[in-house]
A and B are shown apart, each in its own frame.
Chain A
Amino acid sequence: GQQLNQSPQSMFIQEGEDVSMNCTSSSIFNTWLWYKQDPGEGPVLLIALYKAGELTSNGRLTAQFGITRKDSFLNISASIPSDVGIYFCAGFSGNTGKLIFGQGTTLQVKP
């Protein structure tokens, strides 16, 4: 079946540093989504991308839909302690009608 490879698995950074994570797939997706999950909560949608090459920002977060439609990345600038959590990428395929999630990137920020 379709799979997403998300990297890195975990990151431990200093407050103020920039963060980059990405997702790759062997399949083409119509939509890429980025979610954040706080401990004990459900995932919350951060950014949605709908077109190849699209670059979208949400505050300190920037995400891009890869030109090949098989990858996406998320950047967080000037990290702060509340950025701590698990970040998931998700790809939607019009062929299957299903949303597939990456394994997640656990982010820890040291004040």
Chain B
Amino acid sequence: NAGVTQTPKFQVLKTGQSMTLQCAQDMNHEYMSWYRQDPGMGLRLIHYSVGAGITDQGEVPNGYNVSRSTTEDFPLRLLSAAPSQTSVYFCASSRSYNEQFFGPGTRLTVL
């Protein structure tokens, strides 16, 4: 099993550009989520999904969109990047809500 994979590992964007962060898991987990990690603030939940076709907002959803068309994939879209979105983004998956397995992260810089 590859576990949770994320691409790209690093990305630099200009303000106003859009992009999609990819996340895939091969463990047949129903629950997937996106977090951002900023210094001194732990991990904050952006969006999550409890199964294909079902998504919901987390703590900091503004500026991000998600969709879940398959069990395996859960992409995160930045519609119009802003410097405040400079962060490390982690995708996670789990069989149930709580014991989440994390991917290696995407380090995003918005200039």
Same complex:
yes
Report which A residues bind B (CB closer than 8 A). Answer: 1, 4, 6, 9, 30-31, 33, 35, 40-45, 48, 88, 90, 92, 97-104
Using A42-B90, A42-B105 as known contacts, say yes or no to A99 and B42 having CB atoms under 8 A apart.
no
Q: Is the contact region of chain A dominated by helix, strand, or loop, or is it mixed?
A: strand
Residues of B within 8 A of A9 (CB): 40
The answer to whether residues A41 and B43 also contact, given A48-B98, A92-B98 and a CB cut-off of 8 A, is no
Question: Which residues of A sit under 8 angstroms from B44, Cβ to Cβ?
Answer: 101
- Contact-residue bracket for chain B: 20 to 34
Smallest Cβ-Cβ distance to B48: which chain A residue: A98
Q: Which 4 A-B pairs have the closest CB atoms?
A: A42-B102, A101-B42, A92-B98, A101-B43
CA gap between A109 and B99 in the complex, in Å: 27
The total number of A-B Cβ pairs within 8 Å is: 57
Query: Which residues of B are interface residues toward A (Cβ below 8 A)?
Result: 4, 33, 35, 40-45, 48, 50, 58-59, 90, 92, 97-105
Name B104's closest neighbour in chain A (CB-CB).
Answer: A42
Query: Which residues of B have CB within 8 Å of A90?
Result: 43
Q: Which of A4, A45, A97 contacts B97 (CB 8 A)?
A: A97
